Amino acid sequence: MAKKITSRVSWVGKVDWELTTFHGDELSTHRGSSYNSYLIRDKKVALIDTVWQPYDREFVKRLQQEIDLDKIDYIVMNHNEIDHSGALPELMRHIPNVPIYCTKKGEAIIRGHYHQDWNFVNVKTGDTLQLGDTTLTFIEANMLHWPDTMFTYMSGDNILFSNDGFGQHYATESLFNDAVCMDEVMREAEKYYANILNTYSMLVTKKVKQILDMNLPLDMICPSHGVIWRNNPAQIVEKYLQWADAYQENQVTIAYDTMWQSTRLMAQAIADGIRQVDPSITVKLFNVAHEDKNDVLTEIFHSRAVLIGSPTINYGYSFAIAGLLEMIKGLKLKKKKAAAFGSYGWSGDAVKQINQHLTEAGLELINDGLMKLWVPDENALAECTVYGQEIARAL
């Protein structure tokens, strides 16, 4: 069902309560998501973005209940990943000649996905589209997070349609940020930023500052996932500036895998040592083999330092740690400290290899790491505690 946002703008998207993973299996979505599409009715009518392909018919059918599709003058595609462009083929089947406003790269992506010769209008930053009393202004946002991304600003109602930017995978029927649990929304917004946008943080800072310098009156930010920022939209803009600036809280995340509990015992003793020196540090431990990888990554994003522990297996580290290290590398974390530890039986290669991987990922090693042979006894665990104390002092 369509929902009124202002007298001229309606939400016509899809709330996906069933979504548990996104980007294939790359990103967990414990709280579902939404694909937000917006219908603007001024003297001219514009549709902003569509929804994910499995919901294409449902989307078009509900849009028909809201408006005669022939009355749609323009389609604006801010970003053309399939969760937003997936319903285009079904929609264009009904209105094949309606112009699609998008960036040049957006056109290339739509053509690459759907292989159709639709009526594309390429736009650049500063280009405008007059709807009547209101005007749309396009702002390219290259690599936030795809090369085609742009934002669209609507004067009059003072709305920034930001697509993935400022979004969260958060299903709600309430639509607005002032009608839901803000702790949940902020947690999901941070997870979204950490896992999808952090890699492009330098561009985020530049783009947010560019938009702030435009001094546009801003009453709402309407992203393509999750809640609309109606109450104090500046709060999420400020958060983005913080998250993009080598963000860290006073937290240490210890992420480990364990075969016969030895590396887990080491992790706990190290945590004790950190807390003994500085009780103000929040220390969190995660057995990576059992935890959600994206939640662990978000905790690492949130931290001053990350400690990675793995037993040595087959002359290397474990499968779960390998996956986590690869994901850490992709995030391009800044000013984050790191250290490694693990138990071993004979070769003891894991710690050295973790160090190498963390260095390649751009993290600053605190030390050379700590290895313990077989099951750590009391003396070995005491050394782990001292190791934790040294790490706390190094922070």
**Which one of residues 14, 31, 41, 79 is an interface residue with ligand FEO (CB under 6 A)?**
79
User: In the bound complex, what is the minimum distance in angstroms from residue 1's beta carbon to ligand FEO?
Assistant: 22
Structure tokens at 131: 């709807």
CB of 23 to ligand FEO, least distance (A): 9
Assess whether 84 carries a catalytic annotation: no
Q: Looking at 16, 49, 81, 190, which residue is catalytic?
A: 81
User: What's the min distance (Å) between Cβ of 52 and ligand FEO?
Assistant: 9
Q: Is 169 in the site for ligand FEO (CB under 6 A)?
A: no
Which of 16, 42, 56, 79 is an active site residue?
Answer: 79
CA atoms in the 13 A half-sphere facing the CB of 47:
30
Candidate segments 79-87, 131-139, 205-213, 277-285, binder of ligand FEO by CB under 6 A: 79-87
Among the listed residues 42, 83, 140, 157, the single catalytic one is 83
According to CB under 6 A, which one of 34, 137, 162, 224 is a site residue for ligand FEO?
224
Q: Nearest-CB residue to ligand FEO?
A: 81
* Binding residue for ligand FEO, selected from 8, 84, 105, 357, defined by CB under 6 A: 84
Could you count the other beta carbons within 10 Å of the beta carbon of residue 42? 19
Q: What letter does residue 196 receive in the DSSP assignment?
A: I
Residue count at the site for ligand FEO (CB under 6 A)?
A: 9
Q: Which amino acid is at 28?
A: S
Distance of alpha carbon 369 from alpha carbon 310, whole angstroms: 11
Residue 81 designated active-site: yes
Is 312 buried (19+), middle (13-18) or exposed (0-12) by CB count in 10 A? Answer: buried
Q: Which of 49, 56, 107, 164 binds ligand FEO (CB under 6 A)?
A: 164
Choose the catalytic residue: 170, 192, 193, 247: 192
Concerning whether 18 is annotated as a catalytic residue, the answer is no
Confirm or reject binding of residue 148 to ligand FEO (CB under 6 A): no
If one asks whether residue 49 binds ligand FEO (CB under 6 A), the answer comes out as no
16 makes contact with ligand FEO (CB under 6 A): no
209-246 in b/e burial notation, b at 16+ Cβ within 10 A?
A: eebeeeeeebebbbbbbbbbbbeebeebbebbeebbee
Of 124, 41, 38, the C-alpha closest to 84 is 38
Q: Which residues pair with 373 in a beta bridge?
A: 344
**Distance from C-alpha of 196 to C-alpha of 180, rounded to nearest angstrom:** 23
Measured between alpha carbons, how far is 179 from 273 in angstroms, rounded to an integer?
A: 43
Q: Quick one: 56 or 83, whose CB is closer to ligand FEO?
A: 83
Terminal C-alpha separation, the chain: 52
Catalytic residue numbers read: 23, 79, 81, 83, 145, 164, 192, 225
**Residue ranges binding ligand FEO (CB under 6 A):** 79, 81, 83-84, 145-146, 164, 224-225
